[in-house]
Amino acid sequence: MLRISQIKLSIDDDITKIKSLILKKLRLKDADLLDYRIYKESIDARHKGQINFIYTVDVAVKDEEFFLKKKISNLALAPDLTYKEPVMGENKMTTRPVVIGFGPAGMFSALLLAQMGYRPIVLERGQKVEDRVASINEFWTEGKLNPRSNVQFGEGGAGTFSDGKLTSRVRDLRGRKVLEEFVAAGAPEDILYHAHPHVGTDLLRGIVRNIREKIIELGGEVYFDTQVRDFVIENGQLQELVLENGEKIVTKQAVLAIGHSARDTFSALYEKGVKITAKPFAVGVRIEHPQEVINKAQYKEFAGHKRLGAAEYRLTYKASNGRGVYTFCMCPGGVVVPAASETGRLVTNGMSEHARDAQNANSGLLVQVFPEDFPSEHPLAGVEFQRKLEEKAFELGGATYQAPAQLVGDFLAGRASSELASVKPSYALGVVPTDLRKLFPDYISSAMQEALIGFDHKLHGFAMADAVMTGVESRSSSPVRINRDEENFQSLTVAGLYPSGEGAGFAGGIVSAAIDGLKCAEALISEFARPELED
């Protein structure tokens, strides 16, 4: 196909006008345009009082060479984005591969293995999405936490209860396969071309279920409420997985896609000699504004236009103490959700449905922390750092899973909040007004204070006095890296173990984790021929 870039529509133009602009650009008759599809859409709001949509479109015509020879501006041959399956290796597999964890990394690793005939066995500690929704709703309404299945654990991983962002700063053609598989599983086709695609938690729940069913249809097996408790390793080679009920699964190849909150599994791996190192991450709060404030700040007089929807933002700041501060997982028209996975520890996260039509916008407001901030040099010291913050947040909230919160105006003035104002917090279990400086070390609070003022210069209203900060956001990324060889993607100390995704410290978000899962599956496939075994 041919690719035409820089097709411009005004904010009031119907998207169907693209076709007439293609015909005009190529001087084509309608009958000679065989097909076209949008490859990319972006918003141009650089000029005051004007917003345009800019499109890149792939076009099918009868004679591509004829048009290429004419040297038409912004016209080129469209690149081939077809996913290329790996070439199977020749080493024999004597056991079926296992995928541990069924978040984005595990899901796409298992999907590719299934598509290529490897019949993977998937082990997920949490519940399937249908049951998981019920467990989470019970926590959000009654405060009854299920440590086995919650916002962090269960089918689809933590991303299932998020905004469902499908953007990634990882430039990798595998990302296209991820989006295409999402569409095949029920996602809207526009995720293939939107500059900031998302699906929302409501659609994600059906999508992950459909991907699970596809894996099973292709010969894979998926087991829920099934946690790996131990790893049998002999002479540096994985041999067996031990489940919590004592059952053993013999396997010599396992993709380790356990997610960033599998703290007990981190400990089990460390005790078995799997190489793990502490890594930097970030902690902070969820900050909530009225969505209308964000819309006006971003879109000015165009705020509320049907073509624009709820506005987003992404902000970064370098504090005077050298720490980076940034917004994370921004949820337009969303809610702040209880996201704890351990009893007596409080965690928050953000979530939006596809429509993004809730009253508030929320985002993580995070400050970098480094291994030297942790209580020791132990590889799992970052986990301990997280736990201490989560325990303190639980106590500040009254030890009932209500969350500690503070108005931005009070935080900037250095005083505790005693009541809320015009912004109604969306956290389902309720909040307790307090002083969040009691929660964080000074280097985090001071960096956050500077950033609030700095962000307000970039996005007017960000530091509005009535905005609400709710703690604690502590699970933005994994506190560890499960080290691996970047050629064969296996653990540096245990052959046959493929650390993957966010939990292993190699991704940050749905798409990047899915891409990493594909990479690990590709590495396994490239070394081993699929097992020709009886069940």
- pLDDT tens digits, one per residue of 469-514: 999 999 999 999 999 999 999 999 999 999 999 999 999 899 999 9
Average pLDDT rounded to a whole number, residues 108-126: 98
SS (H, E, C) 466-533: CCEEEEEECCCCCCEEECECCCCCCECCCECEEECCCCCCCCCCHHHHHHHHHHHHHHHHHHECCCCC
- How do residues 28-74 score in pLDDT, each as one tens digit? 999 889 999 999 999 998 888 899 999 999 999 988 999 999 989 99
pLDDT (0 to 100) of residue 533 = 63
pLDDT (0 to 100) of residue 534 = 58
Yes or no: say if 376 and 383 are a contact pair by the CB < 8 Å rule: no
pLDDT at 119 over 70: yes
What's the CA angle centered on 386, arms 442 and 364, to 5 degrees? 70
Helices and strands, number each (H, E), in the chain: 12, 23
Question: DSSP labels for 159-202?
Answer: GGGS--B---S---THHHHHHHHHHHTT--GGGGTBSS-B-HHH
Average pLDDT rounded to a whole number, residues 244-269: 97
Average pLDDT rounded to a whole number, residues 213-224: 98
pLDDT (0 to 100) of residue 87 = 96
Which one is predicted more confidently, 401 or 46?
Answer: 401
Average pLDDT, the chain: 96
pLDDT (0 to 100) of residue 405 = 98
Average pLDDT rounded to a whole number, residues 450-461: 97
**CB-count burial class (<10 Å; 0-12, 13-18, 19+) for 171:** exposed
Yes or no: say if 463 and 473 are a contact pair by the CB < 8 Å rule: no
Average pLDDT rounded to a whole number, residues 368-388: 98
Average pLDDT rounded to a whole number, residues 393-420: 98
pLDDT at 385 over 90: yes
pLDDT at 535 over 60: no
Helix (H) or strand (E) holding 263: helix 263-271
Amino acid at 522: E
CA distances from 224 to 30, 155, 453 (A): 53, 8, 46
Query: Mind listing the domains of the chain with CATH numbers?
Result: 2-77 (3.30.70.2700), 98-277+480-527 (3.50.50.60), 280-473 (no CATH)
Confidence of residue 393 (pLDDT cuts 50, 70, 90): very high
pLDDT (0 to 100) of residue 37 = 94
| Percentage of the residues of the chain whose pLDDT score is greater than 90 | 93
The answer to whether the bond into 472 is cis (omega within 30° of 0) is yes
Average pLDDT rounded to a whole number, residues 309-331: 97
Confidence of residue 172 (pLDDT cuts 50, 70, 90): confident
